[in-house]
Amino acid sequence: MRRVRFNRQAGGAAAALLVSLAGVGFSAHAGLSRTPDLASNRITAQQDADEPQHFPGAALLYAEEAGDDGKSTTVGATGTVALPDLPAGVQPALAEADASIRPAAPFMLRGTTLDKARALQCLTTAIYYEAATEPDDGQAAVAQVILNRVRHPTFPGSVCGVVYQGSQRRGCQFSFACDGALARAPARVPWERARRAAARALAGQVFAPVGLATHYHTYAVTPAWNRSLVMTGMFGAHLFHRWKGWWGTPAAFTRSYVGGEPLPEPHAPAAPIQQVTIDVAVAARTAALLAATPPAPATVQPAHVESGEVRAAYAAPAESQILDRWKDSGKPLR
C-alpha cells in the first residue's frame, strides 16, 4: 500500500491546499486549538495548553491511499463489507439505483444505563478522532453514518460494535481504532464539542442531508469502493456515500437498537488456535502397540444380594479368631 504523508514543514503548502478545499479553518502550528464558533458554524484558532502537536482528527494531514480491494484501513475513510444476497421476496426491479436522498429515522437509544454511557463514549470518540476539526455539519454527518450502520444488517448492532468493528484483527472500519491515534490524549475543548454532537445524535436528532449514508472518505483519498456507491453529499472534510439499490433504501435499515454495548475500546484479539504437531511415525507405532495389546479381562459384577443375606466371602470362618473373653460381650474393643 502506498502511503502519502505530509509533515509540518515540507507538506505545509499541500496541507493548506487540502484544507482550503475542505472548508476547514485549520492551522498547522503546534499548540493551537480549534474552539467551535457554534453561531457561525466555523472553527477558530486560539491558544490551548491541552492541544497535542498532531491534532487527532486532522485526517487530511495524514492521508493514506486505499488498496485496490477497497477494504484496506484508510486514514480519513471508513471501511466496507460485502453485501449479502437480496432478502427473499425483494424483486430485482426494487433494487435499481435510486438517486434520491432520504433522511434516516430518528435513532432511539435503548438499553441499560451502562449501554447508554458506552454508546455516548464510543460515538464521541469516533466524532473526535474522525472530525474534531470540522464544522457542525461535518460532525453531525459522521455521527449519522455510524448510527445508520447500527441499524443496517450488514454491520454490528451496537454503537461500540460499529465504531470498533474489525479492531480485533487489525482490519478496522475506522482507522483511528487501529493506527495508534487512541494513544494520544484528546484535547479538552474539542472533546466536549464532539460529546455534544454525539449526545444530540443519540437523542434522536437526524442530520437529514446525508441521508442513509454508510460510508465516507476525505477529499485526500479515493478508496476503490466509492465507485460502487452513491454519493449523498459533501460535509466538512468528507464525501458521504450510501449503498446502491435496495440495500441503500429505508427498507434495508431494519435492525432496532436494543443495547448490549461492548466495552468502549478496541476489541480484544481472538485467542489463537493451538496447533498440535503429530509425528506420523510415532502415531503409527502407538497404533500398532495398541492393536497388539490383548484386552483386559472383563470384570464380572456380583449378583444382587437380597436384604439379610450374608455373602460367603464375609461369613465367619469355621474356627473363630476371637478370644473367649470377648465373645458376645457386647462391649466395644478399647
Instruction: Give the model confidence (pLDDT) of 218-275 as tens digits.
Output: 988 888 887 889 999 999 999 999 998 888 999 999 899 989 999 999 988 766 655 5
Query: What residue has cell string 487512541?
Result: 182
Determine how many CB atoms are found less than 10 A away from the CB of residue 206: 17
Predicted pLDDT at 300: 56
pLDDT tens, residue by residue, 173-200: 998 998 889 998 999 999 999 999 999 9
The span from the CA of 238 to the CA of 213, in Å, is: 12
pLDDT tens, residue by residue, 263-300: 999 988 766 655 556 667 777 776 777 677 776 665 55
DSSP assignment of 51-91, as one string? --SS-TT-GGGS-BPPPTTS-S--TTBB------PPPTT--
- Burial, 48: exposed, middle or buried (Cβ in 10 Å; 0-12, 13-18, 19+)? middle
Determine how many CB atoms are found less than 10 A away from the CB of residue 250: 12
Residues 6 or more apart in contact with residue 148 via CB below 8 angstroms: 104, 212, 213, 214, 253
Residues 6 or more apart in contact with residue 149 via CB below 8 angstroms: 155, 156, 162, 214
Element (H, E) at 162: helix 159-163
The span from the CA of 315 to the CA of 295, in Å, is: 34
- Between 89 and 20, residue with greater pLDDT: 89
The span from the CA of 242 to the CA of 197, in Å, is: 22
In three-state secondary structure terms, 130 is helix
Predicted pLDDT at 56: 39
Element (H, E) at 33: strand 32-37
